[in-house]
Chains A and B, each alone.
Chain A
Amino acid sequence: MGEENKGSSIAPELDAYTEFLKSESCRPLIGDAGEYGEGPLLRIKLTDIILKLCQANSLWPMTFGIACCAIEMMGTGMARFDISRYGSEVFRPSPRQSDLMIVAGTVNKKLAPVLLTLYEQMPSPKWVIAMGNCAISGGPFKVEDNYNVIEGVDKLIPVDVYVPGCPPRPEGLIEGILKVQEKITGTRHPLPQNRHPKSPLRKVKGLRVK
């Protein structure tokens, strides 16, 4: 029985499909194996593009505010700055449901294992924004006598985008999210954003708007 199964798998249909994908006719659809680095065994270029568009425009950040930067993060989520214009307003209370970690604040030694656990609990693919000077380099705590603050969250987990500031303005965080979108898809504003309507005042005859 072992001899018969040699070289074939339990699902011949899947093998046939894999062969089909490897054929020349599928070349435009499937990228080179090395193009995306490590990842799933099977990658279809068009699906990938669509998936990445979806991922970039629905980044779900984790509700994870550590220090005063979290206040700015909350402000970014509220109506005035309205992070939902870029699809990132769904702050998830569980790392299992989120794909963006905004490290908004100071990470100290006692918090480091918690942060690592949360990062590991997030399903891949996942991205990290280091928000504020503390998360980037330790900020004001990067002094000789520092005994408790991790000098940069990138010493613990890989960081995709750094947003400097103490704390950064909400516009800064929004720019950081746009940068993450750019990193995912390769283009800024991966989905065409709705253009703002031209000012109605311009249509009034004789009225000049500076």
Chain B
Amino acid sequence: MLIQYVILIIIVLIVLQTARKYKERKISLREFLFWIIFWLVVGAVVLLPQITSLLAEKLGIGRGADLVVYSSLIFVFYMIFRLFVRQEKIERDISKIIENLAKKE
């Protein structure tokens, strides 16, 4: 199906970008591996949608597509949560730095 090719091309582009970011040392090896494995899994699901149906059946979910939607949503929300926590930490760190600078002046 055409959609499979379109998504695969997009995935390849994203993987290339991830590799470039790793080469430029903008992300760590751990992050790099995490995203590569993630996109490989996505690629596998796109190429062989049957796997999701198999898994969905085992889990008691009607269709494979539903399983994909559910797991993606959980993943996305979890990532947002992680970013949120991280952002908070950065904000606190900035305030700490600003406080210390204020004392030194």
Does A associate with B in a complex?
A: no
* Contact surface of A with B, Cβ cutoff 8 Å: none
* Contact surface of B with A, Cβ cutoff 8 Å: none
